[in-house]
Amino acid sequence: MGLPADGTSELLIDGKLVPGSAGTFPTVNPATEEVLGVAADADAADMGGAIEAARRAFDDTSWSTDHAFRVRCIRQLRDALREHIEELRELTIAEVGAPLMLTAGAQLEGPVDDLAFSADTAENFAWNHDLADAAPQGIPTRRTVAREAVGVVGAITPWNFPHQINFAKLGPALAAGNTVVLKPAPDTPWCAAAVGRIALEHTDIPPGVLNIVTSSDHGVGALLAQDPRVDMVSFTGSTATGRAVMIDGAATIKKVFLELGGKSAFLVLDDADLGMAASISAFTAAMHAGQGCAITTRLVVPRARYDEAVEAAAATMGGIRAGDPTHKRTVCGPVISARQRDRIQGYLDLALDEGGRFACGGGRPADREAGFFIEPTVIAGLTNESRVAREEIFGPVLVVLAHDGDDDAVRIANDSPYGLSGTVYSGSDDRAQTVARRLRTGTVNVNGGVWYSADAPFGGYKQSGVGREMGVAGFEEYLETKLIATAIN
């Protein structure tokens, strides 16, 4: 169930593994640039077939109403994934370039275990509840609020944390009673295809309920937002693409969930342990080569201690080498592709043009002849008005900015089109909490607190998205609300 023995993967459509009508496309190990094998390349007709299968499974079966059966199927999937966890780990490291250490958490094992939360939520959810009897317009009426599945869900996911994001959609969407068509990123097709094969061979999920369509063509994924047979699109990716998904979905007034970009700020107040905070910020920014939408990539520190903060951040980040993700101590592996590496390098070049300087890093590692690696980089000397400080880079790049007190720190943090995450460090929890509540972001880490958890809602303000993923709030994104009013005789 890990790396395909024959070097190829297939589509899962209507309970069958089938080839792609457009042939195959390669999937590449970003640490070595070697081709791992090929994935089935779907075309529009394949996607249409998957949508039709999902529509039929929702409309013509009891999947949406048999809560106990769905709970059992999701628990089967979780157990089967756990049984194949080592093969999935090998696949994830090879295809994603994810450091081995991260596969014990958010890159693999954590998301697999989190499927239990979706099953438990569905099992214990109040699918119906009564309002107090009333007599609107003088008619005695008993009123019941029913929660029901949305219908067919199109899930479009990126490559940076494929298992976490795939399961954060599949778990609640399926548990809520929806049928799903998953379109994963072209960079990581095997991670999704492996889940499809496991689901087919080891669970009782009926045909058409779960469909997985890999394709090299982003236009194939766009069909999910355009097709009237799809009731909801759940998208994670760039803000630019999310905007296009929203526009496409508007034609059919489709329900749209968006989890988009970020340029989150790490605020260090003047009573904090500056060296420790700067080091934590640098370590976080380098993890998984900075390929995380919620990573804090702006370190905002007291102006009077700016140089000290830059030095501390550079000492930590300069000591983190971009290295082989199979090694157990690697923190920063490769970025996903040559295209992404070149994009990051473009921002590094821009930083110099904008008047910044590198406190460490700044380009490709000299000791890496192959692989899509970028040195962990600390940039100093810029203001929050620079493009490098405002735009999402998605690489191991930390920009250090100066603030002139708590109000100014909050102003800088909020002066962004994004609002996904943030961090506040202070010697006083109360002071840090006060600042945290002023940030226009969906999540905030205060003095080292951890916001990532299966039962905790995740999402952003402003151009970082619409809606919440994970937690009960994430489960309810996949539900409609129906009021049933019955006259009392």
Alpha helices, DSSP H only, in 319-437?
338-353, 387-390, 406-414, 429-436
Are 43 and 25 in contact by the 8 Å Cβ rule? The answer is no
Are 175 and 475 in contact by the 8 Å Cβ rule? The answer is yes
The confidence score (pLDDT) of residue 275 equals: 97
Closest CA to 260 of 226, 285, 235: 235
User: How big is the CA angle at 142 (ends 140 and 147), to the nearest 5 degrees?
Assistant: 150
Q: Which amino acid is at 325?
A: P
Closest CA to 83 of 109, 52, 122: 109
Do 93 and 203 reside in the same domain of the chain? Answer: yes
Instruction: Encode burial over 39-69: b for 16+ CB neighbours within 10 A, e otherwise.
Output: bbbbbeebbebbbbbbbbbbeebebbeebee
Residue 301's Cβ-side half-sphere holds a number of Cα atoms within 13 Å equal to 29
Q: What is the residue range of 100's domain?
A: 8-260+464-485
Number of domains the chain contains = 2
Do 159 and 235 reside in the same domain of the chain? Answer: yes
pLDDT digits over 210-255, tens only? 999 999 999 999 999 999 999 999 999 999 999 999 999 999 999 9
How far is it, in rounded angstroms, from Cα 420 to Cα 65? 34
Do 67 and 188 reside in the same domain of the chain? Answer: yes
454 falls within a domain: no
How far is it, in rounded angstroms, from Cα 239 to Cα 231? 21
pLDDT digits over 371-384, tens only? 999 999 999 999 99
395 falls within a domain: yes
Average pLDDT, the chain: 97
pLDDT digits over 273-292, tens only? 999 999 999 999 999 999 99
Q: Percentage of residues in the chain with pLDDT exceeding 70? A: 99
Q: What is residue 333's DSSP assignment?
A: -
Do 281 and 189 reside in the same domain of the chain? Answer: no
- Write out the two tokens for 101: 């250490």
- Please, which residues have CB within 8 angstroms of residue 276's CB and are 6 or more apart in sequence? none
Positive/negative CA dihedral, 239, 230, 193, 460 = positive
Do 344 and 430 reside in the same domain of the chain? Answer: yes
Average pLDDT over residues 315-332: 97
- Write out the two tokens for 327: 């090694």
pLDDT for residue 256 is more than 60: yes
47 falls within a domain: yes
Do 472 and 420 reside in the same domain of the chain? Answer: no
452 falls within a domain: no
Positive/negative CA dihedral, 446, 447, 449, 452 = positive
Q: What is the CATH number of the domain that holds 293?
A: 3.40.309.10
How far is it, in rounded angstroms, from Cα 355 to Cα 386? 9
Closest CA to 155 of 195, 212, 84, 83: 212
- Hey, what's the torsion of the CAs at 190, 472, 446, 434, to 10 degrees? 140
Are 341 and 364 in contact by the 8 Å Cβ rule? The answer is yes
Are 149 and 480 in contact by the 8 Å Cβ rule? The answer is yes
Query: In the structure, what pLDDT confidence band is assigned to residue 450 with cuts at 50, 70 and 90?
Result: very high
Do 312 and 250 reside in the same domain of the chain? Answer: no
142 falls within a domain: yes
The confidence score (pLDDT) of residue 489 equals: 87
Do 96 and 233 reside in the same domain of the chain? Answer: yes
Identify the bridge partners of residue 302 per DSSP, sorted by sequence position.
Answer: 403
The confidence score (pLDDT) of residue 1 equals: 54
Do 194 and 319 reside in the same domain of the chain? Answer: no
Q: What is the CATH number of the domain that holds 85?
A: 3.40.605.10
Do 233 and 273 reside in the same domain of the chain? Answer: no
- Write out the two tokens for 313: 């951040």
pLDDT digits over 120-176, tens only? 999 999 999 999 999 999 999 999 999 999 999 999 999 999 999 999 999 999 999
Residue 423's Cβ-side half-sphere holds a number of Cα atoms within 13 Å equal to 26
pLDDT digits over 16-73, tens only? 999 999 999 999 999 999 999 999 999 999 999 999 999 999 999 999 999 999 999 9
User: How big is the CA angle at 449 (ends 447 and 454), to the nearest 5 degrees?
Assistant: 165
* Backbone φ, ψ for residue 13 (5° rounding): -135, 120
Residues with a catalytic annotation lie at 259
- Please, which residues have CB within 8 angstroms of residue 369's CB and are 6 or more apart in sequence? none
Are 425 and 300 in contact by the 8 Å Cβ rule? The answer is no
Query: In the structure, what pLDDT confidence band is assigned to residue 2 with cuts at 50, 70 and 90?
Result: low
Closest CA to 373 of 402, 351, 344, 352: 344
Average pLDDT over residues 258-264: 98
pTM above 0.95, yes or no: yes
316 falls within a domain: yes
Tell me which H or E stretch contains 12.
Answer: strand 11-13
52 falls within a domain: yes
DSSP string, 443-488: --EETT-----TTS-B--EETTEES-BSHHHHHHTTEEEEEEEEE-
Positive/negative CA dihedral, 233, 239, 244, 248 = positive
Do 17 and 86 reside in the same domain of the chain? Answer: yes
Do 424 and 299 reside in the same domain of the chain? Answer: yes
Instruction: Encode burial over 86-98: b for 16+ CB neighbours within 10 A, e otherwise.
Output: eebbebbbbbbbb
Query: In the structure, what pLDDT confidence band is assigned to residue 5 with cuts at 50, 70 and 90?
Result: confident
- Please, which residues have CB within 8 angstroms of residue 178's CB and are 6 or more apart in sequence? 58, 64, 149, 150, 151, 152, 153, 231, 232, 478
456 falls within a domain: no
**Interhelix angle for 85-96 vs 189-202, to 10°?**
160
pLDDT digits over 414-445, tens only? 999 999 999 999 999 999 999 999 999 999 99
